[in-house]
Amino acid sequence: MPKFMPTEDFIIELFCMIDDQMKDVKKHSQSNLYPSEIVTIGILFAMKGIGERKFYRWLRGNFLHLFPKLLERTRLFRLLKTHQNWTEKFMAEPKVFRIADTYGIELIHPIREGRTKRQIGKKGISNHRFIVGCKVCVVTNKLGLICGFEVETANVYDARFLPLIEKFKDEMIVFVDRNFHTREGKDPENMKVCKGERRNERMLIETVFSMMTKVFSFKKMAHRVWEYLRARISFAIAAFNILARCGDEG
């Protein structure tokens, strides 16, 4: 009995799970790909954790028979950018008590900061060191599944993500660290700031970030357009939720 599922079988199983969640999304009359195919390709791209060109060569060279109407590379990634909002269907249900924290993604080395006008990342601190990139804030439920996220440049203060926390004010209380607190006292009613060595269940989100780093190569990306960067993050978070649910069922 094989130790690992063959890649082709995994892609088919992944497509079936995605298609079950997207039954209400209709295919455009002029589109070559079905919505479930688009999301499947986006999630595969996030899971591979490699560049667009390398991923496209891998997909076309090995699995064109699964996606016979695969578009040209640039058209395909424009399609992923356009339909990144479909990943919201794979966000987890909020529970009563949950956790929020931020994660830094490096886009370029700090020494290359300011060398091009196309730079989209900014300098900030992540894990006690400077990066030039962006910052992702995620809110997880008690199972470690991601309920929502937001993306800003790395130089912003964590309090910039308070609207994301406030969005869940009628559904759950969110535990955060002191970086989310505002001096003006405008914290959302559902946000609870935890002092050091309190609420150890907050470490669950560190496990989430560790898995995102190792499975999806989430710590470093090379995108130069903000919309494409956000699309990559959206599909990676959707992929994480799908795989985590599969692990729980297994």
Q: Which helix (H) or strand (E) holds 140?
A: strand 129-140
Total domains in the chain come to 2
Please state the pTM of the whole predicted model: 0.90
Does one domain contain both 86 and 177? Answer: no
Q: What is the largest CA-CA distance in the chain?
A: 61
CATH number, domain containing residue 157 = 3.30.420
Tell me the range of 42-46, 170-174, 205-209 where mean pLDDT is highest.
42-46
Give the pLDDT mean for 134-151: 92
Domain that holds residue 152: 97-223
Mean pLDDT of 151-172: 90
Per-residue b/e over 29-62, b at no fewer than 16 CB within 10 Å?
eeebbbbbbbbbbbbbbbbebeebeebbeebeee
Average pLDDT, the chain: 89
73 and 123, same domain (yes or no): no
Tens digit of each residue's pLDDT (9 = 90 or more) over 174-233: 888 888 888 777 788 888 888 766 666 678 888 899 999 998 989 999 888 999 999 999
Under 8 Å CB-to-CB from 84, ≥6 apart: which residues?
42, 227, 230, 231, 234, 235
Which phi and psi angles does 206 have, rounded to 5°?
A: -70, -35
User: Regarding beta strands 173-176 and 97-108, do their DSSP bridges make them parallel or antiparallel, or are they unpaired?
Assistant: parallel
**Both 20 and 70 in a single domain?**
yes
Q: Which of 90, 116, 136 is the last residue of a domain?
A: 90
Kindly state the DSSP code that residue 199 receives in the 8-state scheme. -
Distance, C-alpha 216 to centroid of its chain: 9
Instruction: Answer yes or no: do 167 and 215 share one domain.
Output: yes
